[in-house]
Amino acid sequence: MNKNRLLQKYLTFDVFASLIVWVLFVIFRKTINNIQIFEGARIFIPSYDYLTSVLFFPICCLFVHYLSGFYLHPYKKSRINLIFNTLASSAIISISVFFAIKLGDVVVSFQYFYYSLLVLFSLLFGFTYFIRAVIFSQVRNNFKIKKWTINTLIIGTGNNALKIANDLEKHAKQNTVIGFVATHKQTGVPPEKILGNITQIANIIEKYNIQETIIVLDNSADEIQLFKVINLLFKFNISIQFTPRLYEILIGSAKITQKGIIPLVSITNPSISDWESSIKRFSDIIVSVISLIILSPFMVYFVIKIKLDSKGPVFYRQERIGRLGKPFNILKFRTMYMGSENGTPRLSSSNDDRITPVGRILRKYRIDEIPQFWNILKGDMSLVGPRPERRFYINQIIEEAPYYCLLYKIRPGLTSWGPIKIGYSDTIEKMIERLNYDIIYMDNMSLVEDFKILIYTFEIIFRGKGV
Residue pLDDT, tens place only, 192-249: 899 998 889 999 999 999 999 998 877 655 667 778 888 889 888 888 987 765 444 4
For residue 38, the model assigns a pLDDT of 45
Residues 269-324 have pLDDT tens digits of 778 899 999 999 999 999 999 999 999 999 999 999 999 988 889 999 999 999 98
Rounded Cα distance, 405 and 422, in Å:
20
Rounded Cα distance, 89 and 66, in Å:
9
Which residues does the chain have with pLDDT short of 50?
36-48, 107, 246-249, 251-254
Mean pLDDT of the chain: 85
CB 280 within 8 A of CB 382: yes
For residue 227, the model assigns a pLDDT of 83
Residue 150 CB partners (closer than 8 Å, separation 6+): 1, 174, 175, 176, 211, 212
For residue 39, the model assigns a pLDDT of 47
List, in sequence order, the alpha helices (H) in 310-416.
357-364, 372-378, 391-400
CB 369 within 8 A of CB 467: no
For residue 260, the model assigns a pLDDT of 52
CB 241 within 8 A of CB 262: no
For residue 230, the model assigns a pLDDT of 85
In three-state secondary structure terms, 355 is strand
In three-state secondary structure terms, 135 is helix
Question: What backbone phi and psi angles, to 5 degrees, belong to 189?
Answer: -110, 160
Residue 69 CB partners (closer than 8 Å, separation 6+): 85, 273, 274, 275, 276, 277, 278
CB 336 within 8 A of CB 314: no
For residue 447, the model assigns a pLDDT of 95
The H or E element containing residue 257 is strand 255-259
Residue 428 CB partners (closer than 8 Å, separation 6+): 393, 396, 397, 400
For residue 109, the model assigns a pLDDT of 56
Residue 105: beta bridge partners?
none
C-alpha separations of 288 from 51, 293, 294, 376, 384 in Å: 33, 9, 10, 7, 12
For residue 108, the model assigns a pLDDT of 52
For residue 151, the model assigns a pLDDT of 93
For residue 358, the model assigns a pLDDT of 92
Question: What backbone phi and psi angles, to 5 degrees, belong to 447?
Answer: -65, -35
Residue type, position 453, single letter: I
Q: Which domains does the chain have, with CATH numbers?
A: 3-144 (no CATH), 150-266 (3.40.50.720), 274-462 (no CATH)
- Please give the radius of gyration of the chain, using alpha carbons only, rounded to the nearest integer: 27
For residue 352, the model assigns a pLDDT of 81
C-alpha separations of 396 from 347, 404, 428 in Å: 13, 10, 7
For residue 18, the model assigns a pLDDT of 95
Report, in this order, helix, strand and coil percent for the chain, each rounded to 5. 55, 15, 30
pTM of the predicted model as reported, rounded to 2 decimal places: 0.85
